[in-house]
Chains A and B, each alone.
Chain A
């Protein structure tokens, strides 16, 4: 049960991530950081865009890692259509 709840949460987070990323990187939100301010000699907007970008990469990496673990657990307990499809694919590949 606990694992299923975790999988549910990972799925929800993975679905929300691109929308959150879009909000952060598109106007009007991005305009908040367009002020002519320097951070350690670098304009704030440059720091913001690249910082957010790095954060998105990190978040995706983290979610992909958890998704892999959750998937692995799911394989052991019960499988879904996708896994069955993948397996039948593998079977077909082997038959070739």
Chain B
């Protein structure tokens, strides 16, 4: 047992340190706003108020009863923070840019600064949070009573002790004093609570250090061999199959939702945020904090189960385990850790909720009746007074819950029930940041529906009959209607109550939100706000200001600013850049004043304050459309750019191919020219030399002369043929060859060609076969040209055939209105790379027995095309060698 005086003294000393830190933090922040108090580390530590006493004591208790299930509560937030880029970053930026004061403010501002929405969310948050505060008070009281119990902590934990409400009362009072002193110094919520955050950060370090110290002591001090600890673990603790069911998924989801939607989490994560750097660091540092918090929970739970007498409350193992082994310092540290986690939760929750209550419940009511007549000083005083009163109200609402629930276990489960309650904000929050046409009516319907179902299926039944809902209803449903049983709505009874309530409440919430939003139209202001919120990462433009057009007198506007912001701020707003010289305020000035007011009293109240002095207000539909269009335009523009660049790439590739082709043609031309020169030169040379001989030797024998003249004639014929070929190509290309049109049987052209080639074939020893003939085909065109094609094909087949038994086969057939002739050989064939090239001009086969000009196939193809057909190389000839196919369509008639 620890002496009560000692515990009280340590507590008071610790509280004094906290006050000192908060005080120093506030002073330091005033001198240097960007100092270490705005550092990502302090920011992250403040987020760790997620770990309340429900974590510090409750995690071990939960591990004893539910095994590994407790980890899900910390995995949900881990996933949300690891995914900061997806959602959290947008949420935090919206909060920062629009000077959001609370989650109620953000949602109401998004849906057209709707006051009703803000009020509903505030009430829901109040209902869900008050029992949670009660739970913290209970933990504080119980832990104090256990450590100071005369018969020892273990004995105390084993029996039911009547809670000492006096302790709880004084603790609540102390927490109120702290929250009021450091949480409500100024009404501008956006002027961050540096003092409170500094104290919270210190408490975060203390609770982590305490849990890790106890964990290390258990693993290395208590167990003989560190690893042997798990040998004592009961089977139930690690019953993995049962743990990872629907409840595990629901817990992960609810915890992930809660780490955004709980008012206190929203306060530290969004409202207190001052830069993107903070959230970037928190994205990994906060999950790391949770990891360290959970690391020793299982060892402590196992040690408690195996070393403490059965029946001693598992919820207090963290405290009783060190005390049972006379580790009083460690016990005291554990007590301080629990104290830290409970107090920090109560402080931040009460501050966050007091802002919500004063901005969304009290202010709208006061604006109707009280405020219009009040003086400048009294308005600010009224708001501060409301905040302070709200803090006292909230903390003592928690105390009242604690007093009423007494020793019942109803409070123990409140953590998860509260999570499920605040998760109702999630559809409106996420929908608001991504869905343009979501409406305020839809959000109200969803929230109200979800809240009612949550109350009916989870919250009210959790009191086990002593509050509002009698036990009979929980057991049998109202009026005995079993299909309305709270834990098995419409007969859905195979789920755990938490999963059941989550499914029904969020399902109905989302359904109402979506359906009602689709049935209703958003107001113009809601449209504007949706654009500002959803496109928060878009570059801010002037057109935003031009959407709302308002008229107000500067003097009246200044009066409002004076009363709410205080004279100093008003002077700063109005005296700069000669704004006070005009009588009518500009739209910019009105917007600026409204923005400053919103940072103090929330967007909805700021709007109703401003609309008192504004005489006429119009929201330009055209400007609104343009604003909404801007983001769309930018997206369309970038898509267009991308498409253009693809087109450019394609064109560039085409050009490159054309260029390549040109080079190739150029090389072929050069080759051809040198070939032609060579071809022309050889006959020319012999013509010249023989004519020289004839001229110089007049007395030559007649027979010799004749021989020489014969050679000259042959050579000039060769020259003529060459020039004819070149001419032919030219004519075919320019499309005006001498072309006689007659109707004829193409077989006659083949016969003519084979006849012409007979001599050539015989000298080369090639057999020409003619196996199949087509009958009755009639085509129109120039018969000699077609014969020229076949002569070319057959002579090529003869010339390029290197086979020892060379054979050329010419066959023809009729097929579906197409006349088809094939010229095949058993020569070496044509290499795949050459298949298309051989049809080009000036290209010759690789192994010419006799060199030609390389024009034959090119001319032939052009001729066949003139007939309307095509000339190609057959894909896979049955035999070795090449097979050319001529196809010409013909008229059956």
Q: Is the CB of B75 within 8 A of A25?
A: yes
Asked, given contacts A53-B287, A64-B280, whether A26 binds B537 with beta carbons under 8 Å apart, the answer is no
Q: How far in angstroms is the closest Cβ of chain B from A10?
A: 9
Range of interface residues on A (Cβ < 8 Å): 35 or more
Q: Is the CB of A84 within 8 A of B540?
A: yes
Q: Contact partner of A56 among B71, B78, B93, CB < 8 A?
A: B78
Q: Please tell me if B284 contacts chain A, counting CB pairs below 8 Å.
A: yes
Q: Please tell me if B248 contacts chain A, counting CB pairs below 8 Å.
A: yes
Q: Is the CB of A41 within 8 A of B537?
A: no
Q: Please tell me if B291 contacts chain A, counting CB pairs below 8 Å.
A: yes
Stretch of B239-247, B401-409, B646-654, B839-847 on the interface side: B239-247
Q: Is the CB of A80 within 8 A of B298?
A: no
Taken together as a complex, chains A and B put the C-alpha atoms of A42 and B75 apart, in Å, by 20
> What are the interface flags for A18-29 relative to B under an 8 Å C-beta threshold, 1 for contact and 0 otherwise?
110110011100
Q: Is the CB of B291 within 8 A of A21?
A: no
The 24 listed contacts between A and B (C-beta, < 8 Å) are: A17-B82, A17-B83, A19-B83, A21-B78, A27-B244, A27-B249, A31-B241, A33-B240, A34-B240, A36-B240, A42-B227, A49-B71, A53-B75, A53-B287, A53-B291, A54-B291, A56-B82, A57-B284, A60-B82, A61-B284, A67-B280, A71-B276, A81-B538, A86-B276
Q: Is the CB of B228 within 8 A of A34?
A: no
**Residues of chain B in range 74-97 having any CB-CB distance to chain A below 8 Å:** 75, 78-86, 93, 96-97
Which residues of the other chain, A, contact B227 by a CB distance below 8 angstroms? Answer: 40-42
Q: Please tell me if B526 contacts chain A, counting CB pairs below 8 Å.
A: no
Which residues of the other chain, A, contact B230 by a CB distance below 8 angstroms? Answer: 38, 41-43, 46
Which residues of the other chain, B, contact A63 by a CB distance below 8 angstroms? Answer: 85
Q: Is the CB of B276 within 8 A of A82?
A: yes
Q: Is the CB of A18 within 8 A of B244?
A: no
Max chain A C-beta neighbours (<10 A), residue from B228, B538, B576: B538
Q: Please tell me if B539 contacts chain A, counting CB pairs below 8 Å.
A: yes
Which residues of the other chain, A, contact B291 by a CB distance below 8 angstroms? Answer: 50, 53-54, 57
> What are the interface flags for A85-96 relative to B under an 8 Å C-beta threshold, 1 for contact and 0 otherwise?
110110000011
Taken together as a complex, chains A and B put the C-alpha atoms of A2 and B879 apart, in Å, by 55
Q: Please tell me if B536 contacts chain A, counting CB pairs below 8 Å.
A: yes
Q: Please tell me if B878 contacts chain A, counting CB pairs below 8 Å.
A: no
Taken together as a complex, chains A and B put the C-alpha atoms of A11 and B84 apart, in Å, by 11
Which residues of the other chain, A, contact B295 by a CB distance below 8 angstroms? Answer: 50
Q: Is the CB of B283 within 8 A of A64?
A: yes
Q: Is the CB of B244 within 8 A of A60?
A: no
Max chain A C-beta neighbours (<10 A), residue from B80, B229, B280: B280
Which residues of the other chain, A, contact B537 by a CB distance below 8 angstroms? Answer: 80-82, 85
Residue of B nearest to A80 (CB): B537
Q: Please tell me if B277 contacts chain A, counting CB pairs below 8 Å.
A: yes
Which residues of the other chain, A, contact B298 by a CB distance below 8 angstroms? Answer: 46
Taken together as a complex, chains A and B put the C-alpha atoms of A89 and B68 apart, in Å, by 44
Taken together as a complex, chains A and B put the C-alpha atoms of A31 and B252 apart, in Å, by 16
Q: Is the CB of A18 within 8 A of B238?
A: no
Which residues of the other chain, A, contact B248 by a CB distance below 8 angstroms? Answer: 26-27, 30
Q: Please tell me if A59 contacts chain B, counting CB pairs below 8 Å.
A: yes
Q: How far in angstroms is the closest Cβ of chain A from B66?
A: 14
Taken together as a complex, chains A and B put the C-alpha atoms of A79 and B249 apart, in Å, by 40
Q: Is the CB of B85 within 8 A of A34?
A: no
Extra A-B contacts (10), CB below 8 Å, given A30-B244, A61-B288, A64-B283:
A22-B79, A41-B231, A46-B230, A49-B75, A57-B288, A60-B283, A63-B85, A71-B276, A84-B540, A85-B93
Q: Please tell me if A77 contacts chain B, counting CB pairs below 8 Å.
A: no
Q: Is the CB of A18 within 8 A of B540?
A: no
Taken together as a complex, chains A and B put the C-alpha atoms of A22 and B244 apart, in Å, by 13
Q: Contact partner of B238 among A30, A46, A54, CB < 8 A?
A: A46
Q: Is the CB of A21 within 8 A of B82?
A: yes
> Is chain B's interface secondary structure helix, strand, loop, or mixed overall?
helix
**Residues of chain B in range 167-193 having any CB-CB distance to chain A below 8 Å:** none
Taken together as a complex, chains A and B put the C-alpha atoms of A85 and B244 apart, in Å, by 43
Q: Please tell me if B572 contacts chain A, counting CB pairs below 8 Å.
A: yes
Q: Is the CB of A45 within 8 A of B240?
A: yes
Taken together as a complex, chains A and B put the C-alpha atoms of A86 and B539 apart, in Å, by 10
Q: Is the CB of A11 within 8 A of B540?
A: no
Which residues of the other chain, A, contact B277 by a CB distance below 8 angstroms? Answer: 68
Q: Is the CB of A64 within 8 A of B281?
A: yes
Q: Please tell me if B275 contacts chain A, counting CB pairs below 8 Å.
A: yes
Which residues of the other chain, A, contact B284 by a CB distance below 8 angstroms? Answer: 57-58, 60-61, 64
Q: Is the CB of B97 within 8 A of A43?
A: no
Q: How far in angstroms is the closest Cβ of chain B from A74?
A: 12
Asked, given contacts A11-B85, A81-B540, whether A18 binds B288 with beta carbons under 8 Å apart, the answer is no
Which residues of the other chain, A, contact B228 by a CB distance below 8 angstroms? Answer: 41
Taken together as a complex, chains A and B put the C-alpha atoms of A22 and B229 apart, in Å, by 30
Taken together as a complex, chains A and B put the C-alpha atoms of A57 and B294 apart, in Å, by 14
Residue of A nearest to B225 (CB): A41
Which residues of the other chain, B, contact A36 by a CB distance below 8 angstroms? Answer: 238, 240
Q: Is the CB of B287 within 8 A of A84?
A: no
Q: Is the CB of A89 within 8 A of B252?
A: no
Q: Contact partner of A15 among B85, B233, B240, B536, CB < 8 A?
A: B85
Q: How far in angstroms is the closest Cβ of chain B from A70?
A: 11
Q: How far in angstroms is the closest Cβ of chain B from A42?
A: 5
Which residues of the other chain, B, contact A45 by a CB distance below 8 angstroms? Answer: 68, 238, 240
- 5 closest Cβ pairs, A-B complex: A18-B83, A34-B240, A41-B227, A14-B85, A61-B284
> What are the interface flags for B683-701 relative to A under an 8 Å C-beta threshold, 1 for contact and 0 otherwise?
0000000000000000000
Taken together as a complex, chains A and B put the C-alpha atoms of A9 and B539 apart, in Å, by 23
Taken together as a complex, chains A and B put the C-alpha atoms of A25 and B69 apart, in Å, by 12
Taken together as a complex, chains A and B put the C-alpha atoms of A21 and B96 apart, in Å, by 28
Residue of A nearest to B72 (CB): A25
Q: Is the CB of B68 within 8 A of A46?
A: yes
Q: How far in angstroms is the closest Cβ of chain B from A35?
A: 8
Max chain B C-beta neighbours (<10 A), residue from A18, A30, A68: A18
Taken together as a complex, chains A and B put the C-alpha atoms of A34 and B230 apart, in Å, by 15
Which residues of the other chain, B, contact A54 by a CB distance below 8 angstroms? Answer: 291
